[in-house]
Structure 1
Amino acid sequence: MELRRLNGHGLSLTMNLRDQVLERGYALMPTWRPERSAGDVATSLGEPLSLGGRDPVHALAPAAKETSTPNTYSGLYGVQGFPFHTDMAHWRVPPRYLMLRCVVGFREVPTMLIDGAELAREVGLKLLARAIVRPRRPVLGQLPLLRIYQPMEEGAILRWDEVFIKPASRAGDEGSAQFREMLSHCKYRSIVLAAPGDTLVIDNWRMLHARASVPSGCEGRKLERVYLGRLH
């Protein structure tokens, strides 16, 4: 699948979606086919994942702490900003990609991205590959031991979530502390999903993402999320 994008000089270039995501860690498609459903768009872009047999399309909307499910980001942070993380970091193999699609958006509430691969190289891949972590709570009745940086046949998984995974070794303590320190000084890129159809595809094995705080008047923000196992 080919997309049109703008380079830094405003010139239009054609690039395959998968190549663009692998090159930069993400791809942004402004007002991409707003008349189509998120499920249809996700299927056109790649292979949607149905987690636990549920609908692959998840509605995301700001919610106050007291009205949210405990042990979720909304339950912990409410309309405050979410910390940088990778999704499903407590899984052995997290979903490779995720798609965020705007239904109702506000420029005041961007999605923020950090290139975790660059950050991991700064900290040290050898240290992070030895850094053992585990889920804070059991996953399917187990507490699997995981690595912050996990080489795979196709690239490597970088997992990071200060809420749902915890160090489980001395190297895990050291790697987590150094990664957290470097992260606190990182510059991030703000991506605005404000118009219906604005669509962002993120490499979840590479990029850290976060939601900005939700100011008064922006509580009606609504995105739809789909996890993708691969891209076309």
Structure 2
Amino acid sequence: MGVAHFAAENVLAVVCELERAFAIRLKPGLVEELHEPSDETPPRWLSYGRPPSELSLHTDYPDWPSPPRFIVMRCISVGRLPVETIAVDMSPIGMTKQQAKIFMEEPWVIRNSGKPRPIRLLDIDRRTGRSCFRYAENVMRPRFPSHSHGVAALSQVIARQVAWAHVLWPGEYIIIDNWRMLHARRAAAARPLVWHPGKGRVLQRTVLMTEHAYDPTYN
């Protein structure tokens, strides 16, 4: 499963199913409320300076040494216009061998704070053998931009995908495989049949971490 939406009463069942399917133990981590961009939005956030209906494709916390395994988002309230969450699958099975090679070998750097540190767009967790894709344009860049093929390869993979899309309603949840899916937000492609405008879109985000830290092969 890359992404799914569900009602509040099914949260525990979904988490238990993920633990069974992936043979892992999950524990809740950071919990945050995500509000529409405003003057108070930190400049380092991906949403800084963007309209409420726009956020580029990314994974959450790509700058963490051990990225969250899953992201759970609960809709608290909606905004004036309908906004849909979208997700695109970046598992290696949907890439060409050349694209996967670029993602696994081309050097990138994390540049959020302090000294830039090396990173790869795609890597394999040595403990589990599972692939982990990470990307966010606000904290990652190619180490050698003039010789980079990663951005073009990323655009090519995304262009071939049919994005999953869903307008979240208050009380509804989605869960995203943060090692596999890029997610974003955009103005809804079609207005829901029933729509009650709100004062501002607010989501609660909870990260689910694995018991063992991510162990990349490139270190």
Moved segments of 4+, more than 4 Å: 40-45
Q: What TM-score, normalized by structure 2, do the two folds share?
A: 0.74
Tell me what 1:6 maps to: none
Could you tell me which amino acid in structure 1 is paired with residue 203 of structure 2? L
Question: 1:164 corresponds to which letter in structure 2?
Answer: V
1:103 aligns with 2:86: no
Assess if the C-alpha contact under 8 Å between 2:111 and 2:117 holds in 1. no
Structure 2 stretches of 5 or more lacking a match? 19-25, 192-196, 212-219
Change (3 A) 1:228 1:169: same
The answer to whether the 8 Å contact 1:109/1:211 transfers is yes
Does residue 208 (structure 1) correspond to residue 186 (structure 2)? The answer is no
Asked if 1:70 corresponds to 2:43, the answer is: yes
Pick 1 or 2: higher relative contact order, CA cutoff 8 A, min separation 6. 2
Contact 1:97 1:205 in 2 (8 A): yes
User: Cα gap change, 1:131/1:76 in structure 2, threshold over 3 Å: closer, same or farther?
Assistant: farther
1:143 to 116, 119, 136: 116
**Structure with the larger helix share:** 1
What do you get for the CA RMSD once the two structures are aligned? 3.2
Is the alpha carbon distance of 1:57 and 1:70 closer, same or farther for their aligned partners in structure 2, counting shifts above 3 Å? same
In structure 1, the gaps of 5 or more residues are 1-23, 50-55
Q: Residue 36 of structure 2 contacts residue 52 of structure 2 at CA under 8 Å; is this kept in 1? A: yes
Q: Is the 8 A contact 1:90 1:134 kept in 2?
A: no
Give distance in 2, aligned partners of 1:103 and 1:27: 17
- The 2-side partners of 1:186 and 1:175 are apart by 17
**Counterparts of 1:120 and 1:219 in 2: how far apart (Å)?**
39
- Which residue is 1:19 aligned to? none
Query: Aligned in 2, Cα 1:158/1:27: closer, same or farther, shift over 3 Å?
Result: same
What percentage of aligned pairs have identical amino acids?
24
1:71 CA displacement = 2.1
The one of 186, 200, 203 equivalent to 1:223 is 203
Which structure's residues are more often strand, by fraction?
2
State the 1:41 CA deviation: 9.7
Is 145-154 or 68-77 further displaced after alignment? 68-77
Deviations 1:134-184 (A, max 9, x none): 12332xx33210011111132011011122200014797112222124324
Instruction: Please report the TM-score for the alignment, with normalisation by the length of structure 1.
Output: 0.70
Indicate whether 1:47 and 2:27 are aligned. yes
Distance apart, 1:48 and its partner CA: 0.7
Between 78-87 and 222-231, the greater mean CA deviation after superposition = 222-231
- Provide the rounded CA distance (Å) in 2 between the counterparts of 1:120 and 1:185: 9
Give 1:168's aligned residue.
Answer: 143
Where does residue 158 of structure 2 map in the other structure?
183
Q: Is the 8 A contact 2:86 2:164 kept in 1?
A: yes
